[in-house]
Amino acid sequence: MTAVLTEATPEEPPELAGKESAQLFSAEIARSAIVDSLKKMHPRVQAKNPVMFVVLIGSVLTTVLFLKDLGSSTAQENVFSGVVALFLWFTVLFANFAEAVAEGRGKAQADTLRKTRSETTARRRSADGSIETVSSAILDLDDVVVVTAGEIIPSDGEVVEGIATVDESAITGESAPVIRESGGDRSAVTGGTRVLSDEIVVRITARAGETFVDRMIALVEGSARQKTPNEIALNILLAGLTIIFLLATVTLQFFAVYSGARQSIIVLTALLVCLIPTTIGGLLSSIGIAGMDRLVRRNVLAMSGRAVEAAGDVATLLMDKTGTITFGNRQAAEFRPVPGTSADELAAAALASSLADETPEGRSIVVLAETAHSQTPPELPDAELVPFTAQTRMSGIDDGDMSIRKGASDSVKAWVLGRGGSVPPDLDDLVRGVSELGGTPLVVATGDASGTRVLGVIYLKDVIKPGIAERFTQLRAMGIKTVMITGDNPITAKYIAAEAGVDDFLAEATPEDKMELIKAEQAGSRLVAMTGDGTNDAPALAQADVGVAMNTGTQAAKEAGNMVDLDSDPTKLLDIVEIGKQLLITRGALTTFSIANDVAKYFAIIPAMFAGVLPALDRLNVMHLQSANSAILSAVIFNALIIVILIPLALRGVKFVPSSAAALLRRNLLIYGLGGLVSPFIGIKLIDMGLTAIGVK
């Protein structure tokens, strides 16, 4: 059996509405952030940020010089030194405040999560079947607990027996209960959720303190946050720029002495702080924290920040058709028999072959056979049920000499031919007819001592989710390739792919086919993202650059992926990509803005330093600042205040607009490059006018 990868014909839908934004500030967060800002003044904390560490040293140095010269200098000199020292401290404090606010939002969310995490009792079942009541805190891996209606699931685990409705609103915020059952890909349960009906037996899959809630708390509080590769690289760049400007400032003093315009340590410190990239240096950490916060607020648990950044660079999205592009609740709509077979005979065989099929599709076949054709489940006490697998793509039943199979057309035909039977020529027309309607054809065949034959086709309807085509259009505008993965035959896959608007599709896909496709895309230097929930998805999730496992999926899938979606919504992958891109765009935009700022501060400070001995440099005083001291003070004050002004943007993120890389670059340079260049000229001039008005010269 071979997979088929072909082109699909996209549609051009209208633009999709944006996401709502969370509240940035609250009085409680602000109060906590002020206290934390002061705590972060510790040199050990500041040393982690080379740019702000240099500003801290400058603040200490200027303060010492101010206090030293307090009694011996003129009042004007004292005011100048004091204001410079004060706003250097403010620069450090405001940077700390930005980070503290971002962390405070996470801590507030962590407090909410803690309310859902409470120590409960658990009914642990021992190997001999006896039940003992223990604290949830002592549960260990592979312990088995019994949870009945009204009880709290004590820890993360997998349902190994039974079926029940579960209220997960405490974790996901979704009020509608969900079904959790043993077997299949919806067996995972989360600690802290409540069983609403029936009884289930759960095998514990997490130690105390290592549950999803615990990991989410650690993540949003920042205790589990590590700097991402891009963040580390940018830190290195900023440190390099800081060293360069430090050397330039030190060297400048030699030229100043030579020209007869020796500069004070305070002036040189002010120059250094204004020229190094303090804006992005002060906001870099808060941008990363806020990006993770946006992800968590969408109920996605990332194992590392690296995965979030990778999501922003994703070039190929692999998505299962069922549950992502379509609702996934395909329903049996019609039995279409081959000539010589009645619809009732086909319905009876389809019902028998679906007894071992616990999928929604299998259950709908049973319902259709019972309601539309008055069929009843056969009494076959010695029968062996054959479950559906991704490898065979068939389910059925074996009872002595009698066998029934139901599944994909190629798989059933191969089974019939392998038993010496024949395939009627009308079968392909029936399969094609269902496929052309966008449905999924399932072929039913039976075999006994008299021979093996095909009975007909089951028509399963599949419904595309509303708005999904619009999302694919946005992704296409960003240069992201979308690939639909399905086990359906190529004709069905082509119909659904064209209707949904995906770029490519992989039909008749096996787990091995997924792996090959991912490796092929990665070989072309394209980052790949995919979702999955089953054990058979685990290898592909591990291979993908961004692997999003569903919380309802198997433990193997969750361990293989680098993200877990607590809502178990496969379409969340699209949101994850947008969050990742917004993080990268925000960091790039504010870096551009910060570096562009330096140009204006250069034109403010350098002419002021040398205008007295080199009158020609006064031509560089394009802002017509009132005095040398006023120019330097204005630049220092602006350098501190701009961090405060940009905190909301760092926390909220730059507005994400789906577009190509070239368009994003033009937008970045136009808004944040040009804006970063112009705004300091305006801001410094206004501050200079204010200082002049209050008599500071």
Beta strand residue intervals within 521-663, DSSP E: 527-532, 546-550, 563-565
Residue 212: C-alpha distances to residues 156, 205, 301, 622 (Å): 7, 11, 8, 58
Q: Write the burial class of residue 71 (CB in 10 Å: 0-12 exposed, 13-18 middle, 19+ buried).
A: exposed
Residue 392: C-alpha distances to residues 161, 396, 406, 415, 542 (Å): 25, 11, 11, 10, 23
List the catalytic residue out of 143, 185, 214, 320: 320
Distance of alpha carbon 488 from alpha carbon 194, whole angstroms:
37
* Per-residue DSSP letter, 616: G
The verdict on whether 320 is a catalytic residue reads: yes
As given in the structure block, the two tokens for residue 191 are: 């600690």
* Per-residue DSSP letter, 54: H
Sheet of strand 504-507: strand arrangement? 4-7, 504-507, 481-485, 314-320, 527-532, 546-550, 563-565, 300-302
Distance of alpha carbon 620 from alpha carbon 378, whole angstroms:
94
Distance of alpha carbon 334 from alpha carbon 312, whole angstroms:
44
Q: Within the chain, what is the greatest distance between any pair of CA atoms? A: 115
Distance of alpha carbon 139 from alpha carbon 153, whole angstroms:
12
Distance of alpha carbon 269 from alpha carbon 57, whole angstroms:
9
Closest to 218 in 3D by CA, of 114, 358, 124: 114
Residue that has been written with the tokens 């490796």 in this structure: 519
As given in the structure block, the two tokens for residue 344 are: 């009732």
Closest to 200 in 3D by CA, of 140, 150, 159: 159
To the nearest 10 degrees (0 to 180), the angle between helices 278-297 and 305-312 is 90
Do residues 600 and 684 touch, judged by C-beta distance below 8 A? yes
Amino acid identity at 214: D
Do residues 56 and 79 touch, judged by C-beta distance below 8 A? no
Residues marked as catalytic: 320
